């Protein structure tokens, strides 16, 4: 199961390195983009679970008076920060991505593109159908 995860990461790293160059800030862009997509996957899962149970999608925080800021911070804490930490530990800690790049060759960035499209499609398509019907 982790091998497909690592293959997607290798494709994502290959794509960002091609865009930003070897010395650029490709690590930050890769970890943020992958973490956002994984957060979208978690949001999709919570929407599906919400259909069957009463699990809240976004947890409430009362840090400020503004509800939008509280929702933004809660969204960061639930949908982004855990994935950034997890991805850093699994991929970038001790330059592990170099080992992964040697172990799993790139597939021409198709795997990463398909992962992004499927992840976004899973959450966007139901909203479009709900708007249409």
**Tens-place pLDDT, residues 12-42:** 999 988 888 877 789 999 999 999 999 999 9
pLDDT digits (tens, 9 = 90+) for 63-120: 888 988 998 999 999 999 999 999 999 999 999 999 999 999 887 778 999 999 999 9
Output the pLDDT for position 52.
83
Question: How big is the chain, counted in residues?
Answer: 133
Q: Residue ranges of the domains in the chain?
A: 2-132
Residue 126: closest CA among 63, 54, 20, 43: 43
Helix (H) or strand (E) holding 18: helix 2-20
> Which residues have CB under 8 Å from 14's CB, separation 6+?
101, 106, 109, 112
**133 band by pLDDT with thresholds 50, 70 and 90:** confident
Q: How far is 30 from 6, CA to CA, in rounded Å?
A: 13
């Amino acid at each position: 199961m982790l091998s497909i995860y690592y293959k997607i990461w290798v494709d994502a790293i290959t794509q960002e390195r091609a865009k930003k160059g070897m010395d650029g800030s490709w690590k930050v862009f890769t970890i943020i983009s992958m973490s956002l997509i994984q957060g979208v996957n978690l949001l999709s899962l919570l929407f599906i679970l919400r259909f069957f149970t009463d699990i809240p999608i976004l947890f409430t925080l009362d840090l400020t008076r503004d509800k939008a800021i509280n929702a933004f911070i809660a969204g960061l804490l639930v949908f982004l920060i855990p994935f950034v930490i997890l991805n850093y530990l699994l991929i970038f800690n001790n330059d592990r991505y170099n080992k992964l790049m040697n172990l799993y060759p790139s597939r021409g960035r198709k795997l990463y593109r398909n992962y992004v499209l499927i992840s976004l499609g899973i959450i966007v398509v139901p909203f479009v159908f709900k708007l249409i019907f």
